[in-house]
Structure 1
């Protein structure tokens, strides 16, 4: 008969943890400006942010594993990382030039080649509870997606 920890792993193996579905403003292909806010967010769903739960059972023992994202790290491509504890707020034109309230950045220099490569990595924490009272955690999981940011410079001539 499998242990509670083994059933937790079986329950986890049934889950579908997807890479984050990234949104940004300005969007890929559009050009942003040095010093202007960049908004970053990811779609919030059971497979991209959680929580997501599945159960496995054997011999009268049942274990439910639950996975949820605890944070997302944005490697901005210029040597800086932004760590966010929420999926971020999708940008809307009504926000104008305001900073994102929960997940944003401002570039300070024009990239060589015209754009930065951004990598978004979600960290999933997986906990489990068994009907016999046992609880535990499985190793954290990560999922990664990439996007780009084109950044330019605005020069004013008198």
Structure 2
């Protein structure tokens, strides 16, 4: 993506002021229109260590203060074939910035006379824009494509191939550009930023279970609670919050010689809990969520995998909102299964 310079100190201060938090550690926003930092960076006050307020990818700012955390937290994977967008369109240039970006390219002549002439007609000679829309300075922005961070090599990153276009302040972007930033698009970008805790389940017995002994499994309710990320474009005054809530865990014992409870292996949310913690006196009961191994793991262990499904939805500016595809995140842990030792009398 091309670097752009700042357009005004006033605009930059307004943007930065909206993002100030208690810490003074700087976090960087790439290519934010109105920036006064380095050519490709605008300083935004935030807590870099805790990642509570951060900015990235041009005009989009992410608030991760209510996101999942921890050394083993990870991104959810869409349970469908849908994936968050690999590219999008958002404000990038003021009239003056676009002139500073394109003029050196034309003067260099490296792109060929025909392309340069066509571009001059489009942005300078009134076909359809005149003189970079300088007469509209402050009343809109030139929009261009951005690649979602981490998706640079994705084939979908090349789909945003529309030419730079103008959008007046308070106007919606053209309807024929589905990747243009809207609250719904912000929600999809926030989806990619969601982080959820490690899916390691609590197990009883803890250290080693026995053949044919029901093993209880459950999730720590303190860790598995809703998480959310908010994405916004301060220049446009639009925002969207994407929230993920745990709804079930699927238990894969790691061997075919096992029986799960329930038989599907999927333990749903009940009374605010997924699974039920084991307590003294429950040994004779069948666990609502668990597994029974039918053979020993020998000198090794079985790789039990627990995958949590997260229900994901969003709300945004103007009362917009809806559901997004469920997300999943799993982890594997070793379970030692021993034979029950016979007692000779």
Taking structure 1 as the reference length, the TM-score comes to 0.79
* Partner residue, 2:276: 89
* Partner residue, 1:74: 251
SS in 2 for 1:7: helix
* Partner residue, 1:55: 230
Bigger mean CA offset, 115-124 vs 72-81: 72-81
**Out of 97, 100, 105, which is 2:291 matched to?**
105
Kept after mapping to 2: 8 A contact 1:69/1:123: yes
Taking only aligned residues, the RMSD between alpha carbons, in angstroms, comes to 2.4
**Equivalent-residue separation in structure 2 for 1:57 and 1:151 (angstroms):** 50
**Equivalent-residue separation in structure 2 for 1:14 and 1:115 (angstroms):** 34
Where does the alignment leave 5 or more consecutive residues of structure 1 unmatched? Answer: none
Measure how far apart 1:14 and its partner are.
4.6
* Partner residue, 2:195: 16
**Cα deviations across residues 8-46 of structure 1 (Å, max 9, x unaligned)?**
13433453312224210111xx3322221100112224x
The answer as to 2:337 corresponding to 1:151 is: yes
**Equivalent-residue separation in structure 2 for 1:40 and 1:90 (angstroms):** 7
Cα separation, partners in 2 of 1:98 and 1:114, compared to 1, 3 Å: farther
**Equivalent-residue separation in structure 2 for 1:148 and 1:98 (angstroms):** 24
SS in 1 for 2:281: helix
Larger Rg: 2
**Equivalent-residue separation in structure 1 for 2:284 and 2:214 (angstroms):** 7
SS in 1 for 2:184: helix
Taking structure 2 as the reference length, the TM-score comes to 0.40
* Partner residue, 1:131: 317
SS in 2 for 1:94: coil
Alignment of 1:25-40 (within 5 A): 25-27=204-206, 30-40=207-217
Kept after mapping to 2: 8 A contact 1:12/1:54: yes
SS in 2 for 1:93: coil
Kept after mapping to 1: 8 A contact 2:205/2:216: yes
The answer as to 2:298 corresponding to 1:121 is: no
**Equivalent-residue separation in structure 2 for 1:33 and 1:3 (angstroms):** 55
**Cα deviations across residues 41-70 of structure 1 (Å, max 9, x unaligned)?**
12224xx52312333333233322110122
More helix by share: 2
Aligned residues: 153
* Partner residue, 2:183: 4
Measure how far apart 1:75 and its partner are.
0.8
